Amino acid sequence: MNVHNDCRERYHKLYEKNIEKIKAKSSPYVNACREPAFEKFMQLGIPTTKNENYRYTDLSHFFNYDYKNYFLPGREDFLKAEQFRCNVPDLDTHGIILLNGFYPTLTDKLRELPGGIMVGSLNEAAKTFGDKIAQHYNRFINGDSDGLVHLNTAMAFDGIFVYVPSGVKLQKPVQVVNLVDSDNDIFNQHRNLIIVEKNADLTLIICDHTLSPQKFLTNAVTEVYVGEDSHFDIIRVQNEHNNAAKITHTFIHQEKNSTASSNNITLHGGLVRNSTHHFLGGEGAECSAYGLYLSDKFQHIDNYINVNHAFPNCRSNQLFKGVLDDMAKGVFNGRIYVMKDAQGTVAYQKNNSILLTDDAVMDTKPQLEIYADDVKCSHGATIGQLDEDALFYLQSRGIDRREAQLMLMFAFAHEVIQNINVEALRERMDSLVMQRLRGELSRCANCMVKCG
Amino acid sequence: MENDQDKIINNVTSGEYKYGFHSDIEIDSIPKGLNEDVIRNISLRKEEPEWLLEYRLEAFRHWQTMTIPQWANLKIPDIDFQDIIYYAAPKKKQGGSQHANSIDPELKKTFEKLGIPLEEQNHLAGVAVDAVMDSVSVKTTFKEILAEEGIIFSSFSDAVKEYPDLVRRYLGTVVPHTDNFFAALNSAVFSDGSFCYIPKGVRCPMELSTYFRINAANTGQFERTLLIADEESYVSYLEGCTAPMRDENQLHAAIVEIIVENNAEVKYSTVQNWYPGDKEGKGGIFNFVTKRGLCRGENSKISWTQVETGSSITWKYPSCILKGDNSTGEFYSVAVTNNYQQADTGTKMIHIGRNTKSTIVSKGISAGHAQNSYRGLVRVLKKASGSRNFSQCDSLLLGDKCGAHTFPYIEVDNQTSIVEHEATTSKIGEDQIFYCNQRGISTEDAIGLIVNGYAREILNKLPMEFAVEAQKLLQISLEGSVG
């Protein structure tokens, strides 16, 4: 309890000290949200393991720490961002780089793509598109039990803004590369807002990277509005080092007959917590949530997923899979919530995990909460090992045991990867997963040569 | 058609509670309220030894530091713990009735009405009964026959007097008084219950059973059951309960502790039929029960079977601690909630020993405005290599105002264990009903048929005498709800 209070006090000081600086450069609407949000944060505090949604994830180690906070980027940061190039072959995207939570260019902060699509800095957009922001910013979050969402609302300065007008289909995906690179240990918060209007289509790829080995803590909130008959995909690829903590909150609000999918692929990271909320806010909406987690060492990966069926005849599907090695800990907390009048709901949820060592731990908590009767809902969860019979089959055909294990694990993971609809990325993911399973990725991540 | 069906569902689920009568029996009770003096008073009335009083007081002091748990998916109204009578016993008649074998005829009539034979020559000859009315055990049958085998089966109070060492050795070892709010309360004020000890190598020749009846108004019932199965023994134990219909809620907080040694097996079956409250949700029993079994020995086994149809609130998680290697835990449950009933029930399987196995099959049926939740934990500790768990939780929804929820927790720390969980929620398919209609089965019968088929897997696990009753009970509980 004491630690808890100290933590709150720490962030209270931080807020007091920096809020004026942050406010001076933000738009009035965003600023108006800050104070009430901070009050809520002070009530809720940093979630502890007493909080049912964080039951298996202890954040105190990362939050009770003195970071060299910084709130505005310096000139040298812009140079770093300039040098970074995404090395995925054949991946053709509209690229955006976010460095330590900031949009690191001095000019051209908001780009216009064909069809009137706007892509750029949220801070900048809030100044020029005040009406759009007022309509959607801070509208879809549900942070009743999660103080971190409010902390983000109170202090986040910048992030990504994407606006797709009605009827526009973006051919190439938008790719956001979140870089964390600093000589100090830092805590950064950023905020993304994605608006997909009626009958539009957008694919968003978010890649999380750490470039230097310092201790990092990121608390990011992404709000997505998916209009009627629209389609939206979000693919998040996380590859951070073992001393980094990444906490993401994604709120996807879907209107009538829209479809959306979220895909969280965690390849590497010290402590990762992804909470994804799909709100099916119109009849006939559909959503899919996928997740893959591969972890080893002392890594901790927590996926929280909440699908809320508020209207009749919506469908949802969840698939989360993971392989845990060494002393890693995996957490899955999935919830299907069907409101009173959401008749005709079809909802599925599946979570499979493989434990490779006796020290690896998996905690899973699939939940169904159903208040309507005309529903078909089911969930399944398994924790186990690779199938001995399958291993034997492969070995009997001359494949050595290690290779056979890799093949089975790869096939296990591929079930999630195959849902990525950007081909170049899918192929890249397949190869990264293979590297990861062979243990090559962690060697690269800890290597300072940065040859890649 | 749709309306017709609604009507039939209503008919099926609005059945009357059969055991709602109240018997006019003179009661010897203590005043309302709870404090140390009340506990001393209870202990004094029961002529308990000093150590037991100390145990109660310690539990009470601990209870005072606790608050009522809020984590369950239940709306629990405020319970005024000072507004409850903690001890009520049917008054013993003057004169000859002091003799153990003669029972107040009114009492006998009551149990006869409930279908519980207090006379040993009755038709349910294969079942030994311990009948508990309010705070005391009224009669235990077949004591002598069981004693020939060395089996101890008696009321808890008698056991404290006759076998203090055994009771003292095992009391609170599985459910300590610090376990939870209601366990602490029970440990402080428990009145009576059953005690059973099966010696080494004995296979109990008949079913043992306890029948609980709340009769007096404004009282709470706090019984305690302690069951010990020594090496290589076997016992099948049944538990049933009913209460009169009253507008106010009554509290029932019980503890069941089971200890199973090497190669022994205990089968524990419950048919819970406390008064569920009326159609508006008025009255009914608050049922807060802590049940836990410890598989202490190797190859030991505990099997819980429960049919939960009564109580306005059910909060109950019969659990197994699988400590011995190769031990087995089973949990089979049918929980039916109708009208404004709420149930949050499930199990815990804690795998500690190697190659331990557990099976969970839970079937929830929800009708009217009821909320029915399954909440379960499967925890596999690091040393429990080769453990296996299979869980299946199905929910059936009858009517659009009710809810069905599933909250499983699965925690695995072991590489060689396999844990599987699956759950489904759905309503009775139109096509299933149509299929039955087509074959000349009325919608009402069809729903009865489907519900019965759905619960069959569990009912089959009950001892024969109970299975028939449970099946009837299921139909009555759902009477008027199908549609």
CA dihedral B71, B72, B78, B80 (to 10 degrees): -90
Nearest residue in A to B411, CA atom: A363
Residues 338-367 of A with CB under 8 A from B: 340, 343, 353, 355-367
Contact B410 A369 (CB under 8 A): no
Instruction: Judge contact between A197 and A166, C-beta under 8 A.
Output: yes
Residue whose token pair is 């020029």? A128
Helix, strand or coil, per DSSP, at residue A307: strand
Domain that holds residue A142: 2-446
Q: What's the pLDDT score for residue B97?
A: 40
Q: Average pLDDT for residues B225-247, to the nearest whole number?
A: 87
- Residue A301: name the closest of A260, A360, A219 by CA: A360
Domains held by chain A: number: 1
State the average pLDDT over residues B303-307.
92
Q: With cut-offs at 50, 70 and 90, classify the pLDDT of residue B32.
A: confident
Q: Where are the alpha helices (DSSP H) in B92-136?
A: 105-113
Q: Is ipTM > 0.85 here?
A: no
In terms of Cα–Cα distance, which of B242, B279, B133, B282 is closest to B473? B242
Residues on B contacting A at a C-beta cutoff of 8 Å: 71, 73, 382, 385, 395, 397-427
Between these two residues, A101 and B252, which has the higher pLDDT value? B252
More confident residue, B294 or A129: B294
- Whether B284 is in a domain gets the answer yes
Residue A275 maps to a domain:
yes
A452 is a domain residue: no
Q: Closest Cα of chain B to A51: distance in Å?
A: 11
Residues B384-420 pLDDT 10s: 999 999 999 999 988 888 899 999 999 999 889 999 9
Burial (0-12, 13-18, 19+ Cβ within 10 Å), A106: exposed
Mutation target among B338, B406, B431 for the A interface, most CBs of A within 10 A: B406
Q: How confident is the model over A138-178, as pLDDT tens digits?
A: 888 876 778 899 999 998 888 999 999 999 998 889 999 88
Position B481 confidence tier, pLDDT thresholds 50, 70, 90: low
Cα B422 to chain centroid distance, Å, stands at: 25
Query: Are the C-beta atoms of residues B88 and B135 closer than 8 Å to each other?
Result: yes
Residue A96, min C-alpha distance to chain B (Å): 40
Cα–Cα nearest to A286, from A236, A349, A204, A346? A346
CB spacing of B424 vs A374 below 8 angstroms = no
> What residue in A sits closest to B371 (Cα-Cα)?
A371
Q: pLDDT tens for residues B65-117?
A: 999 888 888 888 888 899 888 888 877 655 444 444 556 777 777 777 776 66
The total of structural domains in chain B comes to 1
Q: Between chains, do B425 and A365 touch, taking CB under 8 Å as contact?
A: no
Q: How far is Cα A240 from Cα A265, in angstroms, rounded to an integer?
A: 12
User: What are the chain B neighbours of A52 within 8 Å (beta carbons)?
Assistant: 71
Total residues belonging to chain B: 483
CA A438 to CA A435: how far, in whole Å? 5
Residue A451 is assigned to a structural domain of this protein: no
Pairing between strand B284-295 and B319-322? parallel
Contacts of A420 (CB under 8 A, 6+ apart): A235, A263, A426, A429
Give contacts of B411 with chain A, Cβ < 8 Å.
Answer: 56, 361-364
Q: Which of B412, B418, B426 sits opposite A375 (nearest CB)?
A: B426
Per residue in B42-56, pLDDT (tens digit) is: 898 888 899 999 999
What phi, psi does A2 have (nearest 5°)?
Answer: -65, -45
pLDDT score, position A452: 40
Other beta carbons within 10 Å of B169: 11
Kindly give the confidence (pLDDT) of every residue in chain A, 452 residues in length, as a single tens digit, with 9 standing for 90 and above: 444 556 788 888 888 888 888 888 888 889 999 999 999 999 888 888 888 889 899 888 888 888 876 666 666 666 666 667 777 777 788 888 888 888 777 677 888 888 889 998 898 888 888 888 888 998 888 767 788 999 999 988 889 999 999 999 988 899 998 888 888 888 889 999 999 999 999 999 999 888 888 888 999 999 999 999 999 999 999 988 888 899 999 999 999 999 999 999 998 888 999 999 999 999 999 999 999 999 888 899 999 999 999 999 999 999 999 999 888 999 999 999 999 889 999 999 999 999 988 889 999 999 899 998 889 999 999 998 888 899 999 999 999 999 999 999 999 999 999 999 888 899 988 988 888 888 776 555 555 444 44
Closest Cα in chain A, distance from residue B94 (Å): 56
Tell me the per-residue pLDDT of B420-448, one tens digit each, with 9 for 90 and over: 999 998 888 888 889 999 999 988 888 88
Could you tell me if A339 and A368 are in contact, meaning their C-beta atoms sit under 8 angstroms apart? no
Enumerate the residues of chain B whose CB falls inside 8 A of the CB of residue A359: 382, 413
Structural domain including B252 reads 27-430
Residue B365 contacts residue B372 (beta carbons within 8 Å): yes
Partner-chain contact B418 A385, CB within 8 Å: yes
Mean pLDDT of chain B: 85
State the Cα–Cα distance between residues B214 and B220, nearest whole angstrom: 8
Residues of chain A in contact with residue B369, where contact means CB-CB under 8 angstroms, are none
* CB count in 10 Å sphere of residue B439: 8
